[in-house]
Structure 1
């Protein structure tokens, strides 16, 4: 069955008015309001991934993040953690309401032993509204578990996606940060070239051995 659904992607987090309203709601939630929302959330949970509210008002719970990477990221040698088949899979993280988007990205990369800089990745929230799906990039200071709590446990209403930064988004970084990214890319390029040269050298050696065997005089 084919779904006629329109996808709209935004590099900003909706409108400024929506952002300020969301921040205001987050700032002025009392402990009683949080307690009520956590209670309603747990009643709606169907996969046993409930939230836990502590006496200090901080709550913990689970979020699911989908990997949508254009290319396999660089991982530690022999890690075996992130294969091409992992791209597109859903990963579950246990986090706190105090954890920021930046911390979630670092935790996710650490889970898969990714050695690339967390600054090269972004976390998006995917919102479903009527027949459209909006993917909005989150700022590093936002709190994913709060967004999960407010939206409820249904991932068809709100879900999280890890992606690389898109072209044009680099304007938000300072010159030293961009220069550091270039150094990282140069290093990765050198490593890839060395690996490629090594593979061709080994292949050339095997071909030369095979030729010597074919032309060996009787």
Structure 2
């Protein structure tokens, strides 16, 4: 009996989170949602999953870290970092340090917008009034800002550059960075200073880059859109629906022609 019990124990696996027990060979086929000490199903979270959880938490700690670092940096520290930044920079986007300790420079922001934006008259394409557009995803824009500009001001400046009429609160600025051969994306607080983050990280966009996205609230806040915006969305959806219907019709017409040709080749009807 003792031997059979010992053998049974070696063939069982028990989750450290919820104490669920199953056969060892069934371990990979069991999906549990129990969490304990940074693990799921008894397995330690990999760095990407753990960072994803951390990124979904409040970014207040990041703001506090930035404020603490900014406080401890002296004017001489800033001067040295600006010089080091300009030395490492491989383009003409250098930083300029003013006598009052404030510095100016350039940041590049990648656009990753999934929904259309409303453009004022005289904007993209020279449209009049307001019109909805899909901005090309992945395009990069350069902004000249100062060390005092916050994330919210950067978002507003970027929207003004494209004459976007949408509420800036619909958008968020994210930082993308690498850690241990993994790429992570983290939402920035509106009080953070992008140029300071750029200065500390250095000029390489592989180390740090900025991405403009929609606010990730889990669902679309339709109440935040105006009636003209919603009407533009409907027109875009109607056009996409018609294009999709035409594409499907062409594809099935092509299939029908091939089938009819095959039937004629074999002497069948048609």
Q: Verify the 8 A CA contact 1:124 1:163 in the aligned structure 2.
A: yes
CA contact (8 A) 1:13 1:136 kept: no
Q: Please say if residues 117 and 134 of structure 2, whose CA atoms lie closer than 8 Å, have aligned partners that are also in contact.
A: no
Greater relative contact order, per chain length (Cα 8 Å cut-off, separation 6+): 1
Aligned residue among 155, 178, 199 for 1:105:
155
| Structure having the higher Rg | 2
Distance 1:29 1:76, change over 3 A: same
Q: Structure 2 CA distance, aligned partners of 1:195 and 1:130? A: 42
Note if contact 2:113-2:214 (Cα within 8 Å) is conserved in structure 1: yes
Confirm or deny: 8 A CA contact 1:13 1:19 kept in the other structure: no
2:243 matched residue in structure 1: none
Please list every run of 5 or more consecutive structure 2 residues that lacks an aligned counterpart in the other structure.
1-47, 126-131, 239-270
Structure 2 distance, partners of 1:46, 1:93, is: 17
- Tell me the residue number matched to 2:81: 37
Q: Is the 8 A contact 2:174 2:186 kept in 1?
A: yes
Check whether the contact 1:13–1:138 (CA below 8 A) recurs between aligned residues.
no
Tell me how far 1:167 sits from its aligned partner. 2.3
Change in Cα spacing, 1:80 to 1:24, as seen in structure 2 (3 Å) is: same
Distance in 2 (CA, whole Å) between partners of 1:148 and 1:77 is 34
With over 3 angstroms needed to count, the CA separation of the structure-2 counterparts of 1:194 and 1:161, relative to structure 1, is: closer
Alpha-carbon displacement from aligned partner over 1:20-78 (angstroms, at most 9, x marks no partner)? 33320112211000000000000000011100000000000000000000122111135
Spell out, residue by residue over 1:115-136, the C-alpha distance to the aligned partner (whole angstroms, 9 max, x if none). Answer: 0000000000001112211111
2:190 to 140, 158, 172: 140
Once residues 159 and 196 of structure 1 are traced to their aligned partners in structure 2, the CA distance between those partners, rounded to angstroms, is 32
What is the deviation of 1:182?
1.1
| Aligned pair partner of 2:229 in 183, 188, 208 | 188
Aligned to 1:123: 173
Question: 1:71 — aligned with what?
Answer: 115
Q: Is the 8 A contact 2:116 2:134 kept in 1?
A: yes
Partner SS for 1:86: coil
Q: CA RMSD in A?
A: 2.8
Q: Which residue of 1 aligns with 2:100?
A: 56
What SS does structure 2 have at the residue aligned with 1:75? strand
Are the equivalent residues in 2 in contact too, given 1:79–1:113 (CA < 8 A)? yes
After TM superposition, the score normalised by the length of structure 2 is: 0.60
* Aligned partners of 2:118 and 2:133 also within 8 Å: no
**CA distance in structure 2 between the partners assigned to 1:193 and 1:19 by the alignment:** 39
CA distance in 2, matches of 1:49, 1:128: 22
Distance 1:55 1:73, change over 3 A: same
Residues 168-189 of structure 1, C-alpha deviations (whole Å, 9 max, x = no match): 499xxxxxxx8xx715255522
